[in-house]
Amino acid sequence: MELSDGERRGDPEGERLTLPLTSRPEWSDVTPLPQDDGPRPVVAIAYKDDFREAMDYFRAVYRSDERSPRSLSLTTLVLSLNPANYTVWEFRRRVLESLGSELLCELDFTEQVAKGNAKNYQLWHHRRWVAEKLGSEAVSRELDFTRKIFLIDAKNYHAWSHRQWVLQNLGGWEYELDYCAQLLDEDVFNNSAWNQRYFVITRSPFLGGLKAMRDSEVDYAIEAIKKSPENESPWRYLRGLYKDDVESWVHDPRVASVCLSILKEQRDLLFSLSTVLDLLCHGFKPSKELADSINALRTSDPEKPDSNMEMARSICSILGSHDPMRANYWAWRKGKLLQA
């Protein structure tokens, strides 16, 4: 008797799993359903045989809505071939529910899929569904999983959304601010980490909310600004801390102070000047020192501005030439000053 390849390899079991579905006895009662692309297909993909076959069997069980263990393993197979097939993911969820399957394995499964492509919408949505079913027992695992993803790509959008969902719905806030600090320590330009920080200080039940956290966060942002004044993230974060409280924004001396020190050190003009501009637009009264620093940057019009409006217009002109990519924007800002 001839040995099969699998038997020769000593792996008859493995061979059985790689047999085409049509050759497997457990599928013999199912008629595979070919895709109906019509008589003249367009954007037609030249599927490989194993792909085509797996999909034909999937269509059959999907059509008959068969919620069985073999359907489940079929979805595993199909998703290994195309993890972006949302219909298969959704059917898989239905099968899992009908079978009352244990869901911890789903976490392993999605981790495997993530290794192939961590930016796949469907895998993250599935993970969220599983985590919701598991409840708070899933917290540490989800936080660990997203942390692992961030080791490879600290800005993975889906992973961040997932992490936020976990925190909001299942908890785990205790060390989140520390985690943000750690990430920012590694890369102070990581805007996703800044965004997460804002998320934590505004929503964590362990912290007092934005107003309570604002003071220390202003110091934190300013420290980051001083280290890398060309980094847009902490400037935006700083402004964001005062999102709904313009009065406090204008009156916090630390804001004007950091602008002044950056300007004096000539380390960056763009964000320090645009911040001063923003302050002026909200009624801020600059100190003589700040006004002088700005005047020193003007290249035309020897007359010193004697009003906030004129200083603001000055800044728009300076930025127009210093930041030519945004010349149109600064011109628009300048024009609006006249309307205010």
Interactions with other proteins, residue window 153-192 (CB under 8 A): 154-155, 157, 160-161, 164-165, 168, 186-192
Tell me how far apart the alpha carbons of residues 243 and 237 are, in angstroms, rounded to a whole number. 10
Q: Is 243 helix (H, G, I), strand (E, B) or coil?
A: coil
Residue 119 annotated among the catalytic residues of the structure:
yes
For other proteins, the closer of residues 121 and 175 by Cβ is: 121
Contact (Cβ atoms closer than 8 angstroms) between residue 259 and residue 272: yes
- Out of 31, 64, 87, 287, which residue is the one contacting other proteins (CB under 8 A)? 87
Both structure tokens of 138: 């899933």
For other proteins, the closer of residues 55 and 258 by Cβ is: 55
Contacts of 143 (CB under 8 A, 6+ apart): 163, 166, 172
- Out of 13, 108, 244, 303, which residue is the one contacting other proteins (CB under 8 A)? 244
Q: Shortest approach of other proteins to residue 183 CB, angstroms?
A: 11
Q: Applying CB under 8 A, which part among 1-9, 252-260, 290-298, 318-326 lies near other proteins?
A: 318-326
Number of residues located near other proteins, criterion CB under 8 A: 77
Q: Shortest approach of other proteins to residue 299 CB, angstroms?
A: 21
Q: Shortest approach of other proteins to residue 326 CB, angstroms?
A: 5
Q: Shortest approach of other proteins to residue 105 CB, angstroms?
A: 19
Q: Shortest approach of other proteins to residue 284 CB, angstroms?
A: 12
Q: Mask 262-281, x = binds other proteins (CB under 8 A)?
A: -------------------x
Contact (Cβ atoms closer than 8 angstroms) between residue 110 and residue 130: yes
For other proteins, the closer of residues 16 and 214 by Cβ is: 214
Contacts of 162 (CB under 8 A, 6+ apart): 124, 127, 128, 142, 146
Residue the block writes with tokens 């280290």: 227
For residue 237, what are the CA distances in angstroms to 164, 241, 261? 18, 6, 19
Contact (Cβ atoms closer than 8 angstroms) between residue 199 and residue 193: no
**Nearest one of 226, 228, 227, 146 to 192, comparing CA atoms:** 146
- Out of 85, 101, 204, 261, which residue is the one contacting other proteins (CB under 8 A)? 85
Residues classed as catalytic: 119
